[in-house]
Amino acid sequence: MNDVRCLCTTYKQEGIGMETVIFADIDGTLLNSEHQITTLTRQAIDTVQNNGIPFVIVTARGITGTYPLLDQNGIRCPVITYSGGVILDEHRNVIYHDGLTRDRAADVVDFIESNNLDMVWCAFSFEDWISQDRSDPRILNEESIVMARSREGAIASVERDEVQKILCICNPAETNEIERRLGEHFSDLMIVKSSDILIEVMPMGTTKAAAIRRLCALWNLPIELSIAFGDSYNDVPMLEAAGKGYLMANAPVDLKCRLPLLTDRDNDHDGIYWTLKDLDLV
């Protein structure tokens, strides 16, 4: 990627530092409840980019579930997908990737199916999205949200021996129990609840925090100068790692007790825009 000094702007405002970069989650953060980017939030992205500030998407979504949204809104920027499993530059070149082997991913799926867990699974390998059952309403809903289509199949059908993530779409009443059981059985893997119905299974060490550290190091930018926005459990490490990590006002109540910075407004009322405005960045 380009040297970050070609992308950053110098600021004199106290608390921001000499340079900055903005990291933002997608669902529940960048998008409102209708899964849209509001006009003001879109304007904020344009403004910071036009001022030379890097804006980076950081999402648990896969590659195919991220770029339709960016294309629809005319956004070009670096993207961290699979919560850090694949990082792409602004030209969509892969600059980092990691994942489970097919065999290890198959172990997870075998455990899920043999224990009849109340959920449906998906597996992601780069741009390949495999689902357990495409007729399941939970899969169809996920496809509708991310504007991409999965293919029904088995882990063995993955072409590359690298599975970035297994996504578990659960009955909300069972999510915590499924998370517990997966965590107990696969202590060597990263098991993360990303919403009240979603659990991600990834290689140990795959986090949004690790990904933003990796980009900041690549750009030779101290992470203490970064700003991040997120709304859910899988965003917490990133918000704690960033210099200024803002939890969205629509976040779960228990998270609001854990993090000191909170946007004044939620994702339906341009929380990102108004926070950046308060920081004199838009």
Output the domain CATH number for residue 31: 3.40.50.1000
Share of the chain above pLDDT 70, in %: 94
Q: What is the mean pLDDT of residues 177-196?
A: 96
> Which pLDDT belongs to residue 11?
34
Q: Which residues of 145-183 are buried (b: 16+ CB within 10 A; e: fewer)?
A: ebebebeeeebeebeeebbbbbbbbbeeeebeebbebbb
> Which pLDDT belongs to residue 38?
97
Output the domain CATH number for residue 198: 3.30.1240.10
Has residue 16 got a pLDDT over 50? no
Has residue 72 got a pLDDT over 90? yes
Q: Pick the residue with more confidence: 172 or 7?
A: 172
Both 106 and 198 in one domain: the answer is yes
Q: Domain total for the chain?
A: 2
> Which pLDDT belongs to residue 7?
41
Within 10 angstroms of residue 12's Cβ, the number of other Cβ atoms is 8
Has residue 17 got a pLDDT over 90? no
Has residue 5 got a pLDDT over 60? no
Both 189 and 161 in one domain: the answer is yes
> Which pLDDT belongs to residue 19?
79
Nearest C-alpha neighbor of 256 from the set 248, 245, 268 = 248
Has residue 181 got a pLDDT over 50? yes
Both 78 and 66 in one domain: the answer is yes
Both 91 and 218 in one domain: the answer is yes
Per-residue pLDDT of 93-136, as tens digits, reads 999 999 999 999 999 999 999 999 999 999 999 999 999 999 99
Per-residue pLDDT of 191-226, as tens digits, reads 999 899 999 999 999 999 999 999 999 999 999 999
**Which residues form the domain of 175?**
102-203
Q: What is the mean pLDDT of residues 70-83?
A: 97
Per-residue pLDDT of 271-281, as tens digits, reads 999 999 999 99
Has residue 8 got a pLDDT over 50? no
Both 19 and 81 in one domain: the answer is yes
Q: Pick the residue with more confidence: 11 or 154?
A: 154
Residue at a domain's end among 171, 186, 203: 203
Residue at a domain's end among 156, 174, 203: 203
Residue at a domain's end among 162, 185, 203: 203
Has residue 40 got a pLDDT over 50? yes
Both 70 and 41 in one domain: the answer is yes
Per-residue pLDDT of 227-273, as tens digits, reads 999 999 999 999 999 999 999 999 999 999 999 999 999 999 999 99
> Which pLDDT belongs to residue 13?
39
